[in-house]
Amino acid sequence: MSEYGQGAPAGPREGIGYFARFGVTERMIAETLSAALSRGGDHADVFFQHRVSSDIGVEDGAVNRAYASVELGVGVRVVKGDQTGYGYTEDLSLPALVECARTAAAIADGPSRPGPQRLHVQGGLPDRYPLVRPWSEVRPEEKLPLVAGLNERAFAADPRVKKVNVFLRDEDGAVLLADSSGRVVEDRQPMTLLFLSVLAEEKGRREQSGYNVAGRAGFEFYTPERLDRVVREAIDRTSVLFEAVAAPAGEMPVVLAAGSSGILLHEAIGHGMEADFNRKGVSIYADKIGKPIARPFVNIVDDAANPGARGAINVDDEGNAAGTTHLVENGVLATYLHDSISARHYGVAPTGNGRRESYRYPPLPRMRSTYMLPGPHRTEEIIQSVKKGIYCVNFSNGQVNIGAGDFTFYVKNGWLIEDGKLTRPVKDVNIIGNGPKALEQVDMVSDDLAIDEGGWTCGKDGQSVPVSQGLPTVRVASMTVGGRGS
Amino acid sequence: MKDLLEIARDAAALARQRGADEAAVGAYRARHVEVAWRDGRLEKVSEATTRGLGLDLYVDGRYVSVGTSDLRPEALDRFVSDSVVLARTLAPDPHRRLPDPELYQGQAAVDLELEDPHHGALDAAERRRQAEAIEVAARSVPGAQAILSVSTSVSDSLSESALVHTNGFEGRRRGTDFWIGAEVTVKDPDGRRPEEYASSGARHRADVESPEVIGRRAGERAVGRIGSRKGESAVTALAVDNRASGRLVGALFGPLSASSIQQKRSYLEGKVGAEVGSPLLDVRDEPHVRRGLGSRLYDGEGLAARPFAVFEGGVLRTLYVDTYYGRKLGIPPTTGRSSNLAWKLGERSQAALLADMGEGILVTGFLGGNSNGTTGDFSLGVRGFRVRSGALAEPVGEMNVSGNHLELWKRLVAVGNDPYRYSPMRTPTLVFEGVQLAGT
C-alpha cells in the first residue's frame, strides 16, 4: 500500500507502475480531484487510460494490411446525487487536468469540498486474465503465419470458397482510477479477437458467413485446437447456407442452442436490469424485484469472474469489486446491475457493473458475462418436444426497447424442427419477443450450459463494451419468427 | 495550439523521415458540449475536447493505417517508427498507393456554410433553458398524465480537420452542429413502459427546430404507443416513415461500395445499368448542399467532391468507388462514401400517401434485425401503426418484416415529399406493396 501526503515528492512514485506510464504524479491527481470538488459534489474520480491496439488482416490471399491505434487520455467525473459532470482530455498536463476537472465540477453549485488528504493504492485485485505471452512482447512476424495459415486452410477446406478474410486484433490496455475517497486502482486490460470470414459460391449462388473468437488473453490464446475450430466453424456455417430454406413467419416454439443463444438473456432481461433504467422508472422491470418472473429452474447470472472471458473484469471502471451477480434466482428477480450512482440511490452495495468504453465516457451500469445456469431437462428431450418450430444456432446481433420490453435477435443459422426432429436449415431470420413474456415462456432448460467464445460487443448510450454470454439449450414456448409464408 | 495543417504537415514529414515513401495524414480536433436533463433536474453536463492524428503509410509498396491520440513528441516519433517497421513485415500490395493527384483538382468554388458564425454565443445557461423547455413541452401534450419520465438533451460541437497527402493534396475544414432531442417514457395500462423520441439537428443553430416542437413531438409519439399490440402475419402494403426509412436505404447503399463488389459480397454486383427498383427509385449524391450534414468539397481521400446520379428511374447508374478497390477492380474512383442523398421527391405528404394506400402498416421504427449484403435477404423488427381506410389506426409492435432487397425496391409504389432533414440520407416516406409481415 502506498499513501499520498502533502510533503510527498512530485515525481512519479516508485512501485506504482502506471503512474510513470501516464506521466502523472500523485500530487497532480490530488490537485485534479480538489478542482473537481471545487463546487461541492459528493464524489469525484479521474480515470486514466492508455490502450494500444493492433490489427493485421488478410484479403485476396496476402497479409497486406495492418491497423494500429493508441488512445491516451483522462476522464474526470463529478457526481452530485444522481447528477454527473464529465470532461476528458488527451493532454495530461496539470493545467489541462485542472481545467477538465473544473468543467466537470460545474454540475454542483455548492461550496468547495477538500480533496483527499491521502491516496492509497488498493491491492488484492483478482487476476482473471493472467498473461503468458502479453501482446506488447509479440512481434508482428509471429502473428503473420497465424493469419496466413488460416487463410490457406479455409481455401483448402472447400472448393466452393472464393474469398477469405482474416483479422487478428490485439489490445494492451492500462487504466488508473483515483477517486475522492483517496482510493487508487490500477488494472491492465488485455484483449484479443480473431475473425475468419468466408464467401463461397455454388452454381452462381453466393453465401457468406464466418466465425470469431475473443478473450482477455495473450498470444497463448491461439492454441491449435482453437484455430482448428475457427476454420471448421467458419466453413460449416457458410456451407450449410446453401441447403437453407426461408424460415416460416409467425408465432411458434423456439429452441435456442447452447452457447451464443445467451443473446436472448442479454436482450430480454440484461439491459432491462441495468439499474439506471430502473431508477429512472423507464424499464419494464422497474417494479419487479423480488417477484417471480420465470419458472423455478431458471437462474441467470451476470458474472465478471470467468477467467479469460471477453466480459471478465478484475474491477469495474469505478474501482468497485466485480464478482458474480445473481439476476434471477429460482425464477425470482433478485437484483439490478448497479454502478455506484444507482447503488447509492437504492441503498445497496455496488455490483461492480460500472463500465465505460474509454476515458471519453462516464461509467454506466453495463453487463459483463451474462448466462443461464444449467436446468433439469435434456437437450434431445427439448427438441423432441417441438412439433413445429425453429432451432437457433448462430446469431449476429440483437436489440431491445427497454421500456416496452420488445427485443429481437438475428439468427444467421438455424434449423426447422418438424415432429421433434431437425429437418432443414434456415438462415437470416429475425426473432422478436417481449422480455418478461419470453422469460415466462422459458419452459425447458437443459444441463448443457456453454459460454460462447465470440467477440460480442454491447452498445448503450453510444458506448461499446466487450461482453460475453451463454446459455444451456432452452425452449421458449412461443416467439414471433420473422420469416416468410406460414 | 499549433495549427492543424501544420500538425499534419509535420507528421507527414516525420513519416517520410522514418522511412515511409508516401503518407496521407489527417489531424483533427473537436469540442463537444452536452447537457442532459431529466424530470425537472439537470442530469449530466459534459464538455470535452478531443484531438488526434490518423496516418496512412506506404512503405516499400506496403501499407499500414494507424491513429493516435498520444501526441507527446517522443511518443509520436516512436509510434510512427514502429508503424513503418510494422508495414515492412507485411506483403506488398500493388494497389495501395495515394490517389492520382488529378482527382484532387476541380473542387467546387462554393461556400458550404458548414460553420455557424454564432456558435460561440451559445452558453451553459441557454443550453439548460432549452433542455428544460423541451421537457415542459413534452409534458403539455394530450394524455401527458401517462408520462413516466422525460429525458432531454442539448448538444453542440465544433470540429476541425486538416488532410495532407505527400503527393500534393492539402485541405482543411471546419464545421459546427447543434442537436436537441427528447426521449419520453409512458405507462401502458398493461404494465409496459413504451418509449419514443424526437430529435433535430443542423449545421446552424437557427435551422434546428424549437425545443417546444421537439418536446411536443416526442410526447405525442410516446403517448401514441400506448396500447400497442402484435397484429397478424400477412403480406401487406407497407409505408415507412421518413425518419425510419434510412434503415432500408442503408442496406441498399452498403452493397454499392467497390469493396463489397470486389469481395463478391454484394447482391448489386453486375447491376450497373440494370433496373433494380421501380421507376420511383431515383437518388443522387449531392455533396454541395448548403449547410448539409454530409456536405463536403473533398472526400476522405482528398478527391474533389462531385454530384452524381446513383439511381435514375430505378436504374443503377454508378457505384461508390474508392481509390484502392477501384484499382483492384480496374474502374475509375468516384468516392468511397456517400455525402448527402437527394431523392426525387413525390408531391404528396405522408397523410395523403396513407389515404391512397388504404390498408396496411406504417412503420415508424425498426428494432434489430439485419440485411445480408451478399444475398439481399433481410429480416427486421418493426413497430408502427395499422392503417385502416386510409387513416392511422391502432399502434402495433413486436412484429417483423422480411424479404429480399432485389424484390423490395421493385415494389416501391410511392415516395413522399418529406425528406428527413436530420440525416445526410434525407429519406422521404416510402410506400411498398406486397411485403411479408410476421406477427401472431
Confidence of residue B130 (pLDDT cuts 50, 70, 90): very high
Closest residue, chain B, to A288 (C-alpha): B191
Q: A229: helix, coil or strand?
A: helix
Q: Is the Cβ–Cβ distance between B99 and B321 less than 8 Å?
A: no
Last residue of a domain, one of A209, A242, A275: A242
Closest residue, chain A, to B37 (C-alpha): A83
**Tell me: the pLDDT tens digits for B402-431?**
999 999 999 999 999 999 999 999 999 999
- For chain B, counts of helices (H) and of strands (E): 9, 16
Q: Does A251 touch chain B (CB under 8 A)?
A: yes
Q: Is the Cβ–Cβ distance between B5 and B162 less than 8 Å?
A: yes
CA dihedral B1, B6, B11, B16 (to 10 degrees): -160
Contacts of B402 in chain A (CB under 8 A): 249, 429-430, 482-484
**Tell me: the pLDDT tens digits for B197-242?**
999 999 999 999 999 999 999 999 999 999 999 999 999 999 999 9
Of the candidates B83, B192, B437, the beta carbon closest to that of A404 is on B192
The Cα-based distances of B185 to A22, A83, A153, A261 in angstroms read 42, 20, 52, 29
In a domain, B270, yes or no: yes
The DSSP call for residue A247 is P
Q: What's the confidence (pLDDT) of residue A9?
A: 34
| A155 and A54 in a common domain | yes
The Cα-based distances of B303 to B59, B171, B258, B322 in angstroms read 22, 10, 16, 9
| In chain A, residues 210-239 whose CB comes closer than 8 Å to chain B | none
| A429 and A348 in a common domain | yes
- Provide the ipTM: 0.93
B208-242 per-residue burial string, b: 16 or more CB within 10 A, e: under 16: bbebeebbbbbbbbbbbbbebebbebbebbbbbbb
What CATH number does the domain containing A174 carry? 3.30.2290.10
Cα separation, B354 vs B221, whole angstroms: 18
Extract the C-alpha cell encoding A32: 485534479
In a domain, A140, yes or no: yes
Q: Is the Cβ–Cβ distance between B373 and B254 less than 8 Å?
A: yes
Q: Is the Cβ–Cβ distance between A55 and A172 less than 8 Å?
A: no
Contacts of A428 in chain B (CB under 8 A): 370, 372, 375, 377-379
* Pairing mode of beta strands A183-188, A161-179: antiparallel
Cα separation, B396 vs B383, whole angstroms: 6
Q: Does B149 touch chain A (CB under 8 A)?
A: yes
Kindly determine whether residue A66 and residue B90, on different chains, have CB atoms separated by under 8 Å: yes
Q: Does B127 touch chain A (CB under 8 A)?
A: no
Kindly determine whether residue B149 and residue A282, on different chains, have CB atoms separated by under 8 Å: yes
Of the candidates A163, A401, A410, the beta carbon closest to that of B195 is on A401
Q: What's the confidence (pLDDT) of residue A25?
A: 87
| B276 and B421 in a common domain | yes
Last residue of a domain, one of B66, B100, B134: B100
| A373 and A293 in a common domain | yes
Kindly determine whether residue A249 and residue B265, on different chains, have CB atoms separated by under 8 Å: no
| A199 and A65 in a common domain | yes
| A199 and A91 in a common domain | yes
Name the minimum distance, in Å, from the CA of B205 to any CA of chain A.
23
Number of structural domains (chain B) is 2
Phi, psi of B14 (to 5 degrees): -60, -45
Of the candidates B263, B375, B398, the beta carbon closest to that of A434 is on B398
Kindly determine whether residue A50 and residue B263, on different chains, have CB atoms separated by under 8 Å: no
Cα separation, A11 vs A19, whole angstroms: 9
Q: What's the confidence (pLDDT) of residue A486?
A: 58
In a domain, A2, yes or no: no
Contacts of A433 in chain B (CB under 8 A): 398
* Pairing mode of beta strands B412-415, A191-202: unpaired
Cα separation, A239 vs A242, whole angstroms: 6
Name the minimum distance, in Å, from the CA of B64 to any CA of chain A.
5
Q: Does A83 touch chain B (CB under 8 A)?
A: yes
3-class DSSP string for B267-292: CCCCCCCCECCCCCCCEEECCCCCCC
Length of chain B: 440
In a domain, A66, yes or no: yes
The burial class, CB within 10 Å (0-12 / 13-18 / 19+), for A48 is buried
Cα separation, B333 vs B323, whole angstroms: 5
Closest residue, chain A, to B72 (C-alpha): A91
Of the candidates B52, B82, B193, the beta carbon closest to that of A283 is on B193
Contacts of A432 in chain B (CB under 8 A): 367-368, 381, 398-400, 438
What CATH number does the domain containing B8 carry? 3.30.160
Sign, CA dihedral B257-B258-B262-B268, equals: positive
> How many alpha carbons lie under 13 Å from residue B110 in its C-beta half-sphere?
18
Q: Which residue in A128, A443, A433 sits closest to A266, CA to CA?
A: A433
Q: A108: helix, coil or strand?
A: coil
How many CB atoms are located within 10 Å of the residue B411 CB?
16
The burial class, CB within 10 Å (0-12 / 13-18 / 19+), for A217 is buried
In a domain, B92, yes or no: yes
Contacts of B53 in chain A (CB under 8 A): none
Q: What's the confidence (pLDDT) of residue A122?
A: 87
The Cα-based distances of B193 to A394, B227, B286, B431 in angstroms read 30, 10, 41, 29
**Tell me: the pLDDT tens digits for A289-303?**
999 999 999 999 999
Cα separation, B402 vs B379, whole angstroms: 4
pLDDT along chain A (486 residues), means of 10: 32 50 87 95 95 96 96 96 94 93 90 87 90 93 96 98 98 94 93 98 95 97 98 97 94 96 93 92 92 97 96 96 96 96 93 97 97 98 97 94 92 96 96 94 97 95 96 97 83
Q: What's the distance, CA A202 to chain centroid? A: 36
Number of structural domains (chain A) is 2
CA dihedral B134, B137, B139, B141 (to 10 degrees): -140
**Tell me: the pLDDT tens digits for B359-407?**
999 999 999 999 999 999 999 999 999 999 999 999 999 999 999 999 9
Contacts of B64 in chain A (CB under 8 A): 65-68
Continuous segment of H or E residues that includes residue A212:
strand A205-215
| A123 and A35 in a common domain | yes
In a domain, B168, yes or no: no
The DSSP call for residue A290 is T
Q: Which residue in B238, B217, B262, B126 sits closest to B422, CA to CA?
A: B217
Q: Does A280 touch chain B (CB under 8 A)?
A: yes
Cα separation, A39 vs A31, whole angstroms: 14
The DSSP call for residue B206 is G
Q: Does A483 touch chain B (CB under 8 A)?
A: yes
* Pairing mode of beta strands A369-372, A468-471: parallel
Domain hosting residue A336, numbered range: 249-482
Last residue of a domain, one of A242, A257, A288: A242
Q: What's the confidence (pLDDT) of residue A417?
A: 97
Domain hosting residue B91, numbered range: 4-28+48-100
| A333 and A216 in a common domain | no
Q: A225: helix, coil or strand?
A: helix
Q: What's the confidence (pLDDT) of residue A2?
A: 31
**Tell me: the pLDDT tens digits for B27-38?**
999 999 999 999
| A281 and A343 in a common domain | yes
| In chain A, residues 290-349 whose CB comes closer than 8 Å to chain B | none
Q: Which residue in A435, A147, A385 sits closest to A265, CA to CA?
A: A435
Last residue of a domain, one of B81, B100, B119: B100
Last residue of a domain, one of A189, A219, A242: A242
Extract the C-alpha cell encoding A399: 436489440
Q: Is the Cβ–Cβ distance between A194 and A212 less than 8 Å?
A: yes
Extract the C-alpha cell encoding B26: 489527417
Residues 6+ apart with CB under 8 A from B85: A140
Beta strand extents in B166-233 (DSSP E only) = 170-186, 195-202
* Pairing mode of beta strands B62-68, A62-80: parallel
Q: Is the Cβ–Cβ distance between B302 and B104 less than 8 Å?
A: yes
Report if pTM > 0.90: yes
| A274 and A314 in a common domain | yes
| A421 and A280 in a common domain | yes
| B238 and B95 in a common domain | no
Q: Is the Cβ–Cβ distance between A302 and A334 less than 8 Å?
A: no
Contacts of A484 in chain B (CB under 8 A): 402-403, 436
Name the minimum distance, in Å, from the CA of B401 to any CA of chain A.
6
Kindly determine whether residue A430 and residue B369, on different chains, have CB atoms separated by under 8 Å: yes
Q: Residues A318-323: contacts with CB within 8 Å, 24+ apart? A: A318/A45, A318/A177, A318/A179, A318/A350, A318/A354, A318/A363, A319/A45, A319/A122, A319/A177, A319/A179, A319/A183, A319/A185, A320/A350, A320/A352, A320/A354, A321/A352, A322/A351, A322/A352, A322/A353, A322/A368, A323/A352
In a domain, B285, yes or no: yes
| A234 and A193 in a common domain | yes
B401, β-bridge pairs: B380, B437
Cα separation, B255 vs A429, whole angstroms: 19
In a domain, B318, yes or no: yes
| A367 and A390 in a common domain | yes
In a domain, B198, yes or no: no
Confidence of residue B1 (pLDDT cuts 50, 70, 90): low
Mean pLDDT of B295-299: 98
